[in-house]
Amino acid sequence: MAKLVFGQSLITAAILTAFAFTATAQTPSANPDVRLGLGDYMTAFVQPRHIKLGLGGQARNWAYLAYEQSELDETFEMIEKAVPRYRDSAMSDLMQITKQPMANLEDAIKARDGAKFDAAYAELTDACNACHRTTEHPMIVIQVPKASMFPNQSFAPPKP
């Protein structure tokens, strides 16, 4: 339990730090040399959305999943604009690996099909890991969440 709380605290601190840097970077007095790196965007924005999709999927909360899938799609678009190149690759080329899994996820959510959602979510997770290997970060392995890092959010569909 202590490890889970400590891990949640570290993730929360990383997210808050990223938000602070983002807010600072948008003010006129900010240092223009300070930018978020790709890892910052992934940890602060993509990873929590991936987790929330997984938790919402486990609860079969279709309305929430539609929202969160759209948010993740917007996040990928934001990253393509904020980090147009990573090393020697165009970010738009790297992000192609997520296009089909995201489309499959959207289709599964619209169909409210749990089995299709699970398959599409696994495909998206595999795509994330394939991108990590492609960018020489094989040590970053994403998985289906086993616990919520959001203790203040219920992922169950609301009761009528």
What residues form DSSP beta bridges with 47? none
Domain-located, residue 24: yes
Domain-located, residue 114: yes
Domain-located, residue 149: no
DSSP state of 149: S
Tell me how far CA of residue 95 lies from CA of 44, 75, 99, 115, in angstroms: 17, 11, 7, 25
What is the tens place of the pLDDT at every residue in 89-100? 999 999 999 999
Domain-located, residue 67: yes
Domain count, the chain: 1
Domain-located, residue 140: no
**Which residue's entry shows tokens 């934001």?**
78
Does the reported pTM lie above 0.85?
no
Judged against a pLDDT cut of 50, whether residue 24 lies above it is answered with: no
Calculate the average pLDDT of the chain. Answer: 87
Q: What is the 3-state secondary structure (H, E, C) of 63-106?
A: HHHHHHHHHHHHHHHHHHHHCCEECCEEHHHHCHHHHHHHHHHH
Q: Which two tokens stand for residue 138?
A: 């094989």
CATH code, 41:
1.20.120
Percentage, residues of the chain above pLDDT 70:
81
State phi, psi for 148 to the nearest 5 degrees. Answer: -90, 135
pLDDT of residue 69: 98
Domain-located, residue 142: no
What is the tens place of the pLDDT at every residue in 62-77? 999 999 999 999 999 9
Tell me how far CA of residue 76 lies from CA of 59, 96, 100, in angstroms: 24, 10, 13
Domain-located, residue 157: no
State the pLDDT confidence band at 27, using cuts at 50, 70 and 90: very low
What is the tens place of the pLDDT at every residue in 34-51? 788 999 999 999 999 999
Domain-located, residue 141: no
Containing structural domain, residue 109: 2-134
**Which residue's entry shows tokens 């202590």?**
2
